Amino acid sequence: MYEKREAIKVSEAVARVMNYTKTGEKEYIDLAEAEGRYLAEDIVADHPIPPFDRSPLDGFAVRSKDTEKATSDNPVKLQVVETVGAGHVSSTSLEAGQAVRVMTGTIMPSSCDAIVMFELATERNEGDQTYIEIKRSFESGDYVSKKGEETKKGEVVVEAGTKITAGVIAVLATFGYSEVPVSKKPVIGIYATGTELLDVDEELQPGKIRNSNAYMIISQIRQSGGEPKYFGKLADDFDLCYEAVSESLTSVDALITTGGVSVGDFDFLPEIYTKLGANVLFNKIAMRPGSVTTVAEKDGQLLFGLSGNPSACFVGFELYVRPWMKTYLQSPKPYLQIVKGSLTADFPKPNPFTRFIRSKVEYDNGRIVASPVGMDKSQVVTSLAYTDALVAVPGGTRGYRSGDEVDILLLSSEGSKEPIKDFMKVREGSL
């Protein structure tokens, strides 16, 4: 029997999901494997950077007071008594009128307090002695890269929840993290439901289509920092689906199903949630695509019932699964980043529900513009290939014109700490 569903707002649906956040445990992994993972701890500098006063130039380490009187007419002459490369420590205690030849990165010789770059010194040999002439004075500290000038000991250099990029890896290596504390990846189970589904390597048959959603979701989970656990596809059979869903819950942090959440005769997810005794957080959202996206909770574990329609499934993941996963990974920015930019094409459809137009963002004269990438229907798959943003057209509007300023949800940005609020309306009347 068909049951009418109450549509809730997108912001409310996200908030209900986020009432069930968890954070992953900490584990240690090899630095070389750490890219793309999320830090489980603040990284605190256990030593200053630079760790010692050093020369930032190839040149000569000098005692500044020896250069006090140097001018172009009256150059000061210093004797070069040693050459030291980075990694070595000067063994000389300098006397007045002496200098040490040093390379970039060399620890400052103890009795020197300034660096004169090669370009500012004239070198000459007299017998077996080398001398330099300097035509200007140097202050104490001139051109010395001071210990701790970049980072003081005890400073937090990277915060917990940060995604590990090449730059973070450089910092971790600097501070000796051969093993990196990261949040365990949330294990997200996936079931694709539908008797019509073929495996990717199967020939098409009448009435059947290939299962694209499972592979799309696997990729979305990885992109959000999680570990997909694909259980396979299920034919539309209640007992089969119930058993499979109920059994899988023991081995995952959350479960995604795709398909079978609407009101069709073979849409079994709603009944499965009932039989499991799960609490349905919502089963209708005032959005397109993905209005039938359903989320249920059993003993604190979430079951994301994404739509079978590919675009609806894609959008449902980005809006509801992703922030939950990012919070598991301790990201301080779990929500989708929203920016304002202009639309490059008319979008004349009236919208009772908020519409998320699959789009691609680009920069035009320094401004962000979003171009819709294909047919705007829930069942469409091909437009997803170019989608890296969703343009939000709020419910109650009569469509937008090219050039209108709109809210753009960026899918390839790390995220935002601000939860989704109501989207900006350009106009309420007809075009």
- Judged by CB under 6 A, the residue of 309, 331, 351, 387 near ligand MOO is 309
Taking the C-alpha atoms of residue 258 and residue 255, their distance in angstroms, rounded to an integer, is 10
Contacts to ligand LQZAQKY5 from residues 156-195, by CB under 6 A:
192-194
Query: Does 228 participate in binding ligand MOO (rule CB under 6 A)?
Result: no
CB of 22 or CB of 210, closer to ligand LQZAQKY5: 210
Kind and range of the H or E run holding 358 = strand 354-364
CA separation, residue 57 to residues 49, 80, 104, 130, 398 (Å):
17, 17, 4, 20, 64
CB of 197 or CB of 406, closer to ligand LQZAQKY5: 197
CB of 26 or CB of 222, closer to ligand LQZAQKY5: 222
Query: Does 24 participate in binding ligand LQZAQKY5 (rule CB under 6 A)?
Result: no
Query: Does 291 participate in binding ligand MOO (rule CB under 6 A)?
Result: yes
Residue 236: strand pairing partners: none
Taking the C-alpha atoms of residue 293 and residue 316, their distance in angstroms, rounded to an integer, is 6
Identify the residue whose tokens are 């939950």. 324
Q: Provide the token pair at 195.
A: 């008797």
Query: Does 51 participate in binding Mg ion (rule CB under 5 A)?
Result: no
User: Is the alpha carbon torsion for 177, 179, 184, 188 positive or negative?
Assistant: positive
Among 335, 352, 353, 357, residue whose Cα is nearest residue 404: 357
Query: Does 341 participate in binding ligand MOO (rule CB under 6 A)?
Result: no
Query: Does 216 participate in binding ligand MOO (rule CB under 6 A)?
Result: no
- Judged by CB under 6 A, the residue of 197, 287, 315, 420 near ligand LQZAQKY5 is 197
CB of 151 or CB of 291, closer to ligand MOO: 291
Q: What are phi and psi of 316, to 5 degrees?
A: -60, -40
Q: Which stretch binds ligand MOO (CB under 6 A): 15-23, 306-314, 330-338, 388-396?
A: 306-314
Contacts to ligand LQZAQKY5 from residues 286-305, by CB under 6 A:
289, 291-292
Q: Provide the token pair at 418.
A: 């601000």
Taking the C-alpha atoms of residue 336 and residue 216, their distance in angstroms, rounded to an integer, is 19
Q: How far is the CB of 178 from ligand LQZAQKY5 (least distance, A)?
A: 42
Taking only Cα atoms into account, the Rg of the chain, rounded to an integer number of angstroms, comes to 31
Q: Which stretch binds ligand MOO (CB under 6 A): 134-142, 290-298, 342-350, 387-395?
A: 290-298
Q: How far is the CB of 348 from ligand LQZAQKY5 (least distance, A)?
A: 20
Contacts of 34 (CB under 8 A, 6+ apart): 164, 168, 169, 172, 180, 182
Taking the C-alpha atoms of residue 392 and residue 395, their distance in angstroms, rounded to an integer, is 9
Angle between helices 238-248 and 269-276 (to 10 degrees): 50
**b/e for 329-346, b at 16 or more Cβ within 10 A?**
bbbebbbbbbeebbbbee
- Judged by CB under 6 A, the residue of 24, 260, 270, 415 near ligand LQZAQKY5 is 260
- Judged by CB under 6 A, the residue of 228, 290, 310, 394 near ligand MOO is 290
Query: Does 272 participate in binding ligand LQZAQKY5 (rule CB under 6 A)?
Result: no
Taking the C-alpha atoms of residue 99 and residue 62, their distance in angstroms, rounded to an integer, is 5
Contacts to Mg ion from residues 229-288, by CB under 5 A:
262, 264, 267
Which chain residues interact with ligand MOO by CB under 6 A? 288-292, 307, 309, 312, 378
Which chain residues interact with ligand LQZAQKY5 by CB under 6 A? 192-194, 196-197, 209, 211-214, 258-264, 267, 289, 291-292, 307-310, 312, 378-379
